């Protein structure tokens, strides 16, 4: 019975690709009905599950799925994900919105190991035009983990850039992230502006920065050192402590604005 259902859906997908139900996606959905098209979407996901996103992108670039509406119809639910990677490869800035269905597809592929781990995973997902945190939240939910990114809060890098360029106010940053992280962000902006003034950083802030480091807020290696600046050894020591590592960095040079008592 299950095979018969798959065959039925496969036939519909083939007919969609030949524009039997219309030449645009809205007309296909209207002609099939939303319930049946949801079944078709699930079948699209199954059909493409044996190929990585990069595999599908290569097929698109080889003209396997045509162009424009023809490509949309043949790729189905996979279109936005794949086309974002195609555009990235071709140096185009346009990005299609990825909704909750796309996030679920990507989360399943992350769990299957398609995007790697750590910063490799973050970079690979961001190339698809998606906020890494959205996908990781879904992965953590599926995996039963409690860790969640607050999607209402920007990355610290974004706050620094926007505060430096005066796109947002100090009051907005302080309200969003709280006093402790605001002090860190303000200090980084002051550095960029050549201002010597520094707000106090305490051990609670170091602890928060360590948590955000573990959650890939500050990238890794030299990039992490650059972003954390002279606080790096203090934050990294806290990271290592949280992760059960005995590695310790030299903290003999303590900035005057860092209060750990």
CB atoms inside a 10 Å sphere around CB 197: 9
Strand partners, 259: 202
194: left (phi over 0), alpha (psi -120 to 50) or beta: left
pLDDT in tens, 140-181: 999 998 888 899 999 999 999 999 999 999 999 999 999 999
Strand partners, 258: 201
Q: Residue 2's pLDDT is what? A: 61
Q: Residue 145's pLDDT is what? A: 87
Two structure tokens written together for 121: 């995973």
The Cα 86–Cα 53 span in angstroms is 10
Q: Which residues of the chain have pLDDT under 70?
A: 1-2
Q: Residue 236's pLDDT is what? A: 97
Two structure tokens written together for 161: 């850039």
Two structure tokens written together for 131: 């906020």
What is the domain partition of the chain in residue ranges?
2-143, 156-259
The Cα 126–Cα 134 span in angstroms is 11
The Cα 250–Cα 140 span in angstroms is 34
Q: 145-148: long-range contacts (C-beta < 8 A, 24 or more apart)?
A: 147/215
User: If we measure between CA atoms, which residue out of 131, 124, 127 comes closest to residue 100?
Assistant: 131
Beta-strand runs (E) in the chain: 201-202, 258-259
Cβ atoms of 61 and 44 within 8 Å: the answer is no
The Cα 124–Cα 105 span in angstroms is 14
Helix axes 79-89, 53-61, angle to 10 degrees: 70
Q: Residue 1's pLDDT is what? A: 41
Task: Outline where the chain has alpha helix (H).
Answer: 2-17, 25-32, 34-47, 53-61, 68-75, 79-89, 100-111, 118-126, 132-143, 156-164, 170-193, 203-214, 221-228, 232-242
The Cα 225–Cα 209 span in angstroms is 13
Cβ atoms of 220 and 227 within 8 Å: the answer is no
Whole-number average pLDDT of the chain: 94
């Amino acid at each position: 019975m299950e095979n018969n259902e798959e065959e039925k859906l496969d036939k519909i997908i083939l007919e969609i690709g030949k524009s039997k139900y219309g030449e645009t996606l809205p007309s296909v959905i209207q002609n099939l009905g939303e319930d049946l098209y949801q079944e078709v979407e699930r079948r699209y996901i199954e059909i493409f599950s044996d190929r990585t996103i990069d595999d599908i992108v290569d097929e698109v670039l080889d003209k396997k799925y045509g162009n424009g509406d023809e490509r949309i119809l043949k790729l189905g639910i996979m279109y936005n994900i794949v086309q974002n990677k195609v555009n990235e490869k071709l140096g185009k800035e346009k990005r299609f919105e990825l909704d909750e269905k796309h996030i679920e597809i990507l989360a399943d592929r992350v769990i299957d190991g398609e995007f790697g781990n750590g910063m490799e995973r973050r970079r690979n997902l961001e190339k698809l035009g998606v906020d890494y945190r959205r996908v990781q939240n879904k992965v953590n939910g599926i995996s039963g983990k409690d860790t969640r990114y607050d999607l209402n809060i920007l990355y610290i890098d974004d706050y620094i850039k926007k505060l430096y360029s005066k796109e947002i106010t100090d009051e907005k940053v302080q309200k969003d992230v709280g006093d402790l992280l605001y002090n860190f962000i303000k200090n980084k902006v002051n550095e960029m502006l050549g201002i010597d003034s520094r707000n106090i950083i305490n051990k609670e802030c170091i602890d928060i920065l360590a948590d955000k480091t573990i959650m890939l807020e500050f990238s890794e290696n030299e990039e992490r050192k650059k972003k954390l600046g002279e606080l790096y050894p203090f934050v990294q020591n806290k990271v290592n402590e949280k992760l059960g590592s005995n590695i310790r960095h030299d903290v003999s040079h303590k900035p005057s604005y860092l209060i750990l008592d």
